[in-house]
Structure 1
Amino acid sequence: MGNRTLNIFVLFLIFGHVFGQEKKGQLPIANVNPLLPGYFADPTIKKFGDTYYIYATTDNEMLASGVPTVWYSKDFKYWYNYTMDVPSLESVNLRNFWAPDIIEGDDGKYYLYFGNCQAGCNIYGYVSHTPIGPWKKLNKDDTPVIAHNCPKEGFPSLDAQFFTDDDGRIYAYWGTWVHYNGGYAVGELDRESMSKIRNPENIPLEETPDPFEAAYMMKKGDKYIFMYSGGSCHDETYNVRYSYADSPYGPFTPGGNNAILATNEDETVHGPGHHSVLEENGRYYIVYHKHDYPMTRGGLSRQVSVDELVFENDSTLQKVVPGAKGLQNLLKSNVPPNLALGTNTTASSYYHLQSLEYDYKYKPSFAVDDHNATMWKAGDNTLPQHLTVDLGRVTNIKRVMTQFEFAGYYYQYKLEFSKDGEDWELYVDRSNNTIAGSPMIDDNNVEARYLKLTVLDTEKTGLYAAIWNIQVFESLFDTPLNLQGNPSTEGPGVKSSHSKLVSVHASDFSQAEQTVSIPNKGDVGGNFIQEGEVALAKDDKGVTAFNFAKGALVLDVPVPKSLEWNGSFTVATWVKNPEISEEGECLVSWCDRFRFNLANSYNALHFNSGNYGAAAHLDGHFDMKYNNLPSPNEWHHIVLTFDGVVEKIYVDGKLDNSQNMVLASQIENAKIRIGASDVGENFSGYLASVQMYDYALNEMDVKKLMQSTKPFKNKE
């Protein structure tokens, strides 16, 4: 699964990936189509009866901490998402459901296993009469099936996969960060209880060269094929490898052709790994995740893909060829043609991603290409936004299926239809929808040429109107299971007020005045209360500023809700840092690092020389540094912006660094702090002013703000 606990996170810093500055444009995607429309990772594929199921980690929020989910399909082409009912622990409210696996037991019941690091890195087990739940705990006292420190002290029990041998015995294989922890682990699952591991052992590190995580066992003839992922899940080095043996416990011999699946030359498959295998009619298919494109910082916005897996003999695998045509053997769809495929589309707007790394357009046409690597995304995260599909002729429309960007959150919308593109009638009204799903299925019976989808609201703050695919059908057809999730009690997300939230200028005060309480002239009001050592002072050039030692100014009103989750923002400061350290030096924070510490749940602007020199989120895989570190002991205008897609840092009016991000900012009980974070990280230097907005300023606005707030009036 990748970095999941704080004591391990620091080890990943040495793997920090620095992106090149050559801009990447549209992706060549012709033969590489992710299987699922959305961000999911660590897939386990199973076939129970005539239905395929994919259990996966829900990615792209708070270190892959989304809802427990399953995708199901009867034809391997049209997949349907369902949020499963999984009970929480007594001691902690579960939010991590990592790397699931499932077994059908001898008793006909289904046994589901998840990893979690909230109460130690453990594997927990659940049981149900169906493959989709509802689930009950295997151990009512929350005892893990595989506990942390098994089979040895300090060993994190994550990424468990189970293998049933020809004699009915069930073996478990698990382990992550195994290059630090002495190799993978293997043990036998007690078939009576399905909740205990017997005879756990370590697999020696030398038997699985270049490992990281994600063990998977399969059998070919008399050979046990032990597959695993190497490299780093955060970047292009992630890959799939294997060793083989004559017994489930080994010893294992490294296989030929390693790595059998890795980043390909054109990067249409980037960082592939953490897989499972489906055998169908004597052929094998590897189901794995890879990074999205354009790639979101940290590499945890992953997508599930599938390719054919070919054996040379019982102990030798060939290298996987992404997009191989052999995959067509799995497709058995009786769904009628999609009338929207390749039709003309228009939209209220579309997002043009322009950063130091990418120049990429989320075109309206991407919503009708039936491709799960591309989407239409509105030009910004304001709502409403609409997409119009021109079918080219008047035809009967009985079903519309819409795949929104996030399958686990609800979208509120309406569909309208028209024969001429001018007079519109209502096809369906989902303006009060609170149920998530993918696809959203809307049935009616109308004659129309045009369909207009208007996105009115989203469950989470700052989410865009964005659609992987919209599909239109002139006849109805059966959908498997016909499941529907439960209504959400949250949201919709708070909208941006498009205002200046915070405005503080040291020049408004004299040195004789106290800094005990500083009025905030921004729209949220309140006062900044002094904590620790902060004083009004003049620097050696006579500039009036707040001089921070080990102190902060803390706003006494709540952080505005428009800044939570993926809400846009701008933070601007005039600052002079006498000595620039490798860590700390927090200029402004508005989330609590201590309470959550899960990847993109934390935001703060810094001025240090380390990996989180500009923007702090968690570690070197998510944070943003300065490409060109501002010089010490000089005044600089430093601005951090986020528009819901790209985070940018400007220094003295020039773009210095940028990265794609999806945030899950946690602001509950947090405070806006100037000069420190909730855990310290104190800034030591001069700060002349701070402005904060709940929207992203563009480059021209940043330059205007720099000129209008300059504290030294060209004296330097």
Structure 2
Amino acid sequence: MLKNKLLYSLIILVFTGSAFAQKDIDVNSPGAGNPILPGWFADPTIKKFGDIYYIYATTDNEMLASGAPTVWYSKDFKNWYNYIMQIPSFSAKSITNFWAPDIVEGGDGKYYLYFGNCEIGCNIYGYVSDSPVGPWKKLSENDTPVISNGYPRENFPSLDAQFFRDTDGKIYGYWGTWVHYNGGYAVGELNQKNMSEMVHSKNIPLSQTPAPFEAAYMMKKGSKYILMYSGASCHDETYNVRYSYSDSPYGPFTPGKNNPILSTNENQTVHGPGHHSVLQENNDYYIVYHKHDYPMTRGGLARQVCIDKMIFENDSTIQKVVPSSKGIEDLLKSDVPENIAFQAKTSASSFYHLKSTQYDYEYKPSFATDDNNATLWKAADNTSPQYLIIDLGAEKKVKRVMTQFEFASYYYQYKLEYSADGKKWNLYADKSKNRTAGSPMIDDNDVTARYLKLTVLATEKTGLYAAVWNIKVYSSLFNLPLQLRNSASKTSPAVKSSKKLLVDFDANKSQTNSAINSVSNKGSIGGIFTKSGDVFLEKVDGIKAFHFKNGAFTLDKAVPKSLAWNGSYTIATWVKNPEVAKEGEILASWCDRTEFGLANSYNALAYYSGNYGAGAHLDGHFDMKYAKVPEADKWHHIVLTFDGVLEKVYVDGVLDNSQSMLLSSAIDKAKIIIGASDIGENFSGFMASLRMYDYALNEQDLIKLMNETKPK
């Protein structure tokens, strides 16, 4: 009996211990294992060459995921380093899209990099190098794609290519996006004589991969070919990973059990997981995928890379993956010493409090020392300087500081100081003139200190915040996996906000001529607004106003650089719209959609009832509609603000809608236009005044402005 009791207790202990080991942690927990990379990256391809792991990914959270072509590398799968790869541009234009990259080691020992691009056609292009990180050379000097748009059938979008080397040495490619509209995925064999063309390509029928969207990924388990793919929509919580299997790389494929095998979890801390690759370590499998950030950025394109265990029941059956914030156990023992700043006390000049119609969330200073890539400290606004102070608790040796800023591929100018008492500061590292991006930024010295102070002075891109995923501090030096350093940027630090009224367009300040042809801008940038089309100065309801019938006013001054990229703004107007249309009706625009033609690169204030009806950004997944459309044929004060994180629209002093987002405003060729967009979309109604600022007014100031400018 005693033996049975002991055995029973042992079984209970084992099972409860196992259950405890499987328990997830909160998304904000210090030391969380997911995400594994500090920054905005998606569509990860993981590879291991030699003893180094590499993650090639889409750089996210700008211009429809069109950031720099970078690679992350690590020896211990815990400490990752980012490098901006040198990839020759196309003959016709520079490369902006570096989408869903994949890499293949050729039989010649060279490395072949492939990625999708839609700037000269939605194609897959190829490059070659002697190293997994470049420098890269074109496979075709004429920019001939490896997989062209419309191949293997007409109008097929050739994106999201992934390559698979079979056990017989043949290399197959699988590609396609929006495949539910385009008849299914494609498969072909890569010609290994040149590594630059596909042969024997064909369509995989939709019925063989139910509910698909994009991101096919092939692997082999035993004798079975496992075709994994992403379904539903990448923009929301429905995104997921599914699979089918076959006895041949060409199929036919049979849908697998347990589909989808990876989905948004119950509490939505892992939101919209998908577009993955698989790492095999001995007999263990790990799925590397991206998920949406929290709080979620509008459109779902601020994504982060995660990893979780993937288990096969047999060669053709995958268990459902349990997505987590905890991540996986350490794959390897790390040689990196203890981070003495882990969970150290922090203070800061400020921190951002996100209060929107969806979220109430604080980007706390303590997030900079929690070794969690889901959290970051972010200053209260995008002005500088901003500082962060770390208290190590006692005086300690400090030989290395590693700082992971929010954007890995843009430089930050900063200085690091140290102190024994938190009052008298000495310089540890001076990066006040820095123009080199990196993550982490590595600063070495040899001092004794209790306090460290990071002061962010400027950024490469307009509107970027002082924001840090993690700052790590070490008492001893250690070797890095590769000796790589990014090239210095030729771009000067971003222009900062003037904190001024830029545009003052007011009917009360204009002459009484009904056939008015020009209006002086009373704002700080000056200039003349010139009329095109039909706009008249009239009195309506006893109020002097511009009556837009089919015309607009265009300013002869360049759009200020403070409005570029992620620059903050406020645009406020008194308008009366006799009839609210379902589309069109732009009140003001200040970006050029032809410069990039990508979502988030365009901004305009609109007044119509459709999904794009308040803040227009070129794509319904990112545009902001009115929660309650302002009533027709009545005067309203409509305000659109953006502070670099949160876009808000106010109607008559009341917050109507809001969304988190990052903009990449294209202003170089743009004009400030009142009453229309850069392609027309004319407003038909009355406007008493319009004011524009290069900063975000707070709610109290907006109400004050509304009352001061109310037309009489």
TM interval, short-chain normalised: over 0.9
Q: Is the 8 A contact 1:611 1:619 kept in 2?
A: no
Q: Is the 8 A contact 1:27 1:268 kept in 2?
A: no
Change beyond 3 A, Cα 1:266–1:670? same
CA distance in structure 1 between the partners assigned to 2:431 and 2:516 by the alignment: 51
- 1:276-295 Cα shifts (integer Å, max 9, x gaps): 00000210010000001111
Q: Does 1:451 align with 2:460?
A: no
Change beyond 3 A, Cα 1:325–1:284? farther
Specify the code of the residue in structure 1 equivalent to 2:554: V
- 1:245-302 Cα shifts (integer Å, max 9, x gaps): 0000000000000110000011111000000000002100100000011111111110
Q: How does 1:493-504 map to 2 (within 5 A)?
A: 493-504=494-505
Could you tell me how far 1:94 is from its partner in structure 2? Answer: 1.3
Q: Does 1:297 align with 2:278?
A: no
The residue number in structure 2 matching 1:62 is 63
CA distance in structure 2 between the partners assigned to 1:93 and 1:676 by the alignment: 30
The residue number in structure 2 matching 1:45 is 46
Q: Is the 8 A contact 1:460 1:491 kept in 2?
A: no
Tell me, what secondary structure is at the counterpart of 2:146?
A: coil
CA distance in structure 1 between the partners assigned to 2:564 and 2:510 by the alignment: 32
Q: Is the 8 A contact 1:308 1:324 kept in 2?
A: no
Q: Is the 8 A contact 1:32 1:269 kept in 2?
A: no
CA distance in structure 2 between the partners assigned to 1:29 and 1:122 by the alignment: 42
Tell me, what secondary structure is at the counterpart of 2:238?
A: coil
CA distance in structure 2 between the partners assigned to 1:495 and 1:331 by the alignment: 45
Could you tell me how far 1:31 is from its partner in structure 2? Answer: 5.3
Tell me, what secondary structure is at the counterpart of 2:36?
A: coil
CA distance in structure 2 between the partners assigned to 1:450 and 1:468 by the alignment: 19
CA distance in structure 2 between the partners assigned to 1:295 and 1:326 by the alignment: 20
CA distance in structure 2 between the partners assigned to 1:282 and 1:226 by the alignment: 19
Q: How does 1:325-474 map to 2 (within 5 A)?
A: 327-474=328-475
Q: Is the 8 A contact 1:594 1:679 kept in 2?
A: no
Q: Does 1:701 align with 2:701?
A: yes
Tell me, what secondary structure is at the counterpart of 1:365?
A: helix
Could you tell me how far 1:187 is from its partner in structure 2? Answer: 0.2
Give percent identity, aligned residues only. Answer: 69
The residue number in structure 1 matching 2:527 is 526
Specify the code of the residue in structure 1 equivalent to 2:697: L
Count of aligned pairs between the two proteins: 687
The residue number in structure 2 matching 1:233 is 234
Tell me, what secondary structure is at the counterpart of 1:57?
A: strand
CA distance in structure 1 between the partners assigned to 2:33 and 2:298 by the alignment: 21
Q: Is the 8 A contact 2:514 2:536 kept in 1?
A: no
The residue number in structure 2 matching 1:130 is 131
- 1:476-501 Cα shifts (integer Å, max 9, x gaps): 00011121000001131100000000
Specify the code of the residue in structure 1 equivalent to 2:138: K
Could you tell me how far 1:594 is from its partner in structure 2? Answer: 3.1
CA distance in structure 2 between the partners assigned to 1:28 and 1:75 by the alignment: 21
- 1:313-334 Cα shifts (integer Å, max 9, x gaps): 0000001112397821413211
Tell me, what secondary structure is at the counterpart of 1:349?
A: coil
CA distance in structure 2 between the partners assigned to 1:324 and 1:406 by the alignment: 21
Q: How does 1:495-574 map to 2 (within 5 A)?
A: 495-512=496-513, 514-539=515-540, 541-574=541-574
CA distance in structure 2 between the partners assigned to 1:532 and 1:491 by the alignment: 39
Q: Is the 8 A contact 1:501 1:524 kept in 2?
A: yes
Q: Is the 8 A contact 1:26 1:360 kept in 2?
A: no
The residue number in structure 1 matching 2:691 is 691
CA distance in structure 2 between the partners assigned to 1:530 and 1:324 by the alignment: 56
The residue number in structure 2 matching 1:224 is 225
- 1:175-215 Cα shifts (integer Å, max 9, x gaps): 00000000000000001100010011000000000000000
CA distance in structure 2 between the partners assigned to 1:132 and 1:154 by the alignment: 33
CA distance in structure 2 between the partners assigned to 1:138 and 1:509 by the alignment: 61
Specify the code of the residue in structure 2 equivalent to 1:189: L
Tell me, what secondary structure is at the counterpart of 2:180?
A: helix
The residue number in structure 1 matching 2:585 is 585
Could you tell me how far 1:28 is from its partner in structure 2? Answer: 6.8
Specify the code of the residue in structure 2 equivalent to 1:549: K
Tell me, what secondary structure is at the counterpart of 1:327?
A: coil
Q: Is the 8 A contact 2:31 2:370 kept in 1?
A: no
Q: Is the 8 A contact 2:59 2:65 kept in 1?
A: yes
Specify the code of the residue in structure 2 equivalent to 1:305: C
CA distance in structure 2 between the partners assigned to 1:152 and 1:368 by the alignment: 52
Specify the code of the residue in structure 1 equivalent to 2:290: H
Specify the code of the residue in structure 2 equivalent to 1:349: S
Tell me, what secondary structure is at the counterpart of 2:156?
A: coil
Deviates more, 1:598-607 or 1:315-324: 315-324
The residue number in structure 1 matching 2:274 is 273
CA distance in structure 1 between the partners assigned to 2:680 and 2:33 by the alignment: 46
Tell me the TM-score normalized by structure 1: 0.95
The residue number in structure 2 matching 1:98 is 99
CA distance in structure 1 between the partners assigned to 2:27 and 2:517 by the alignment: 53
CA distance in structure 2 between the partners assigned to 1:281 and 1:432 by the alignment: 46
Specify the code of the residue in structure 2 equivalent to 1:175: G
The residue number in structure 2 matching 1:7 is none
Deviates more, 1:372-381 or 1:595-604: 595-604
Specify the code of the residue in structure 1 equivalent to 2:99: W
Tell me, what secondary structure is at the counterpart of 1:549?
A: strand
Tell me, what secondary structure is at the counterpart of 1:178?
A: coil
Deviates more, 1:519-528 or 1:25-34: 25-34
Q: Is the 8 A contact 1:307 1:324 kept in 2?
A: no
Tell me the TM-score normalized by structure 2: 0.95
Q: Is the 8 A contact 1:377 1:464 kept in 2?
A: yes
Specify the code of the residue in structure 2 equivalent to 1:616: A
Specify the code of the residue in structure 2 equivalent to 1:200: S
Specify the code of the residue in structure 1 equivalent to 2:671: K
Could you tell me how far 1:549 is from its partner in structure 2? Answer: 1.2
Q: Is the 8 A contact 1:552 1:673 kept in 2?
A: yes
CA distance in structure 1 between the partners assigned to 2:174 and 2:143 by the alignment: 21
The residue number in structure 2 matching 1:638 is 638
Deviates more, 1:703-712 or 1:43-52: 703-712
Q: Is the 8 A contact 1:645 1:660 kept in 2?
A: yes
Tell me, what secondary structure is at the counterpart of 1:400?
A: strand
The residue number in structure 2 matching 1:193 is 194
Could you tell me how far 1:595 is from its partner in structure 2? Answer: 3.1
Could you tell me how far 1:30 is from its partner in structure 2? Answer: 7.5
Q: Does 1:145 align with 2:111?
A: no
Change beyond 3 A, Cα 1:196–1:26? closer
CA distance in structure 1 between the partners assigned to 2:528 and 2:325 by the alignment: 62
Q: Is the 8 A contact 1:585 1:606 kept in 2?
A: yes
Deviates more, 1:607-616 or 1:500-509: 500-509
Tell me, what secondary structure is at the counterpart of 2:701?
A: helix
Q: Does 1:604 align with 2:618?
A: no
The residue number in structure 2 matching 1:18 is none
The residue number in structure 2 matching 1:21 is none
Tell me, what secondary structure is at the counterpart of 1:180?
A: coil
Tell me, what secondary structure is at the counterpart of 2:329?
A: helix
Unaligned runs of 5+ in 2: 1-25
Specify the code of the residue in structure 1 equivalent to 2:639: V
Q: Is the 8 A contact 1:223 1:247 kept in 2?
A: yes
Misfit runs of 4+, over 6 Å = none
CA distance in structure 2 between the partners assigned to 1:564 and 1:331 by the alignment: 44
CA distance in structure 2 between the partners assigned to 1:420 and 1:483 by the alignment: 36
The residue number in structure 2 matching 1:663 is 663
Could you tell me how far 1:32 is from its partner in structure 2? Answer: 5.7
CA distance in structure 1 between the partners assigned to 2:534 and 2:559 by the alignment: 23
Superposed CA RMSD in Å reads 1.2
Tell me, what secondary structure is at the counterpart of 2:320?
A: coil
- 1:573-624 Cα shifts (integer Å, max 9, x gaps): 0000111111110001000123322111000000010111000001210000
Could you tell me how far 1:567 is from its partner in structure 2? Answer: 0.4
CA distance in structure 2 between the partners assigned to 1:317 and 1:600 by the alignment: 37
Tell me, what secondary structure is at the counterpart of 1:367?
A: helix
